């Protein structure tokens, strides 16, 4: 009896099943408990960007695809500056959030239709 899973949990479960990796093995690869992974797959827990990055590495998929599923990253922004910040392992979670807050404030204040040549340098 196969249950239909949706959202982030379903996405992770689907990729784990395709890769034929057990919860326990993915937990070892990602450095998290298989119980926690089970809760993520059941959409009972919302993992941090760092945990998603580790899961993505264990599944050998892009972290950005998990960020999109988790709602951390807009699909149309995949591959953007935000994705680059989120994927950078040199930054702590608080540093990533600070940079994203600053970036989003700049983007909110920037003229939407102005080509890059019309935006004045800082």
23: phi then psi, degrees, rounded to nearest 5: -55, -45
Q: In whole angstroms, how far apart are CA 22 and each of 42, 47, 80, 102?
A: 15, 19, 32, 39
pLDDT (tens digit, 9 = 90+) per residue, 1-23? Answer: 445 678 899 999 999 999 999 99
User: What is the reported pLDDT for 103?
Assistant: 80
How confident is the model over 20-53, as pLDDT tens digits?
999 999 999 999 999 999 999 999 999 998 999 9
- The reply to whether the predicted model has a pTM over 0.75 is no
Kindly state whether residue 21 falls inside one of the protein's structural domains.
yes
Domain count, the chain: 1
Q: How far apart are CA 68 and CA 72, in angstroms?
A: 6
- So what's the pLDDT on residue 4? 60
Residue 116 lies in a domain: no
Q: Is residue 115 part of a domain?
A: no
* Interval 50-105: pLDDT, tens: 999 999 999 988 888 888 888 887 765 555 777 788 777 888 888 888 888 888 77
Look up the domain containing 101 and give its range: 7-109
- In-domain check, residue 91: yes
Residue 120 lies in a domain: no
Residue 111 CB-half CA count within 13 A: 8
Looking up residue 99, the CATH number of its domain turns out to be: 1.10.260.40
Residue 100 lies in a domain: yes
């Amino acid at each position: 009896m196969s249950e239909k899973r949706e959202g982030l949990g379903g996405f992770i479960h689907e990729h784990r099943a395709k890769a034929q990796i057990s919860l326990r093995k993915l937990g070892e690869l990602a450095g998290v408990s298989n119980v926690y992974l089970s809760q993520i797959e059941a959409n009972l827990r919302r993992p941090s960007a760092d945990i998603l990055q580790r899961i993505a590495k264990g599944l050998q998929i892009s972290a950005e695809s998990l960020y999109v599923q988790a709602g951390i990253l807009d699909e149309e922004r995949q591959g953007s500056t935000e994705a680059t910040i989120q994927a950078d392992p040199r930054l702590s979670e608080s540093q990533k959030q600070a940079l994203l807050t600053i970036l989003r404030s700049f983007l909110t204040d920037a003229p939407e239709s102005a080509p890059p040549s019309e935006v004045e340098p800082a």
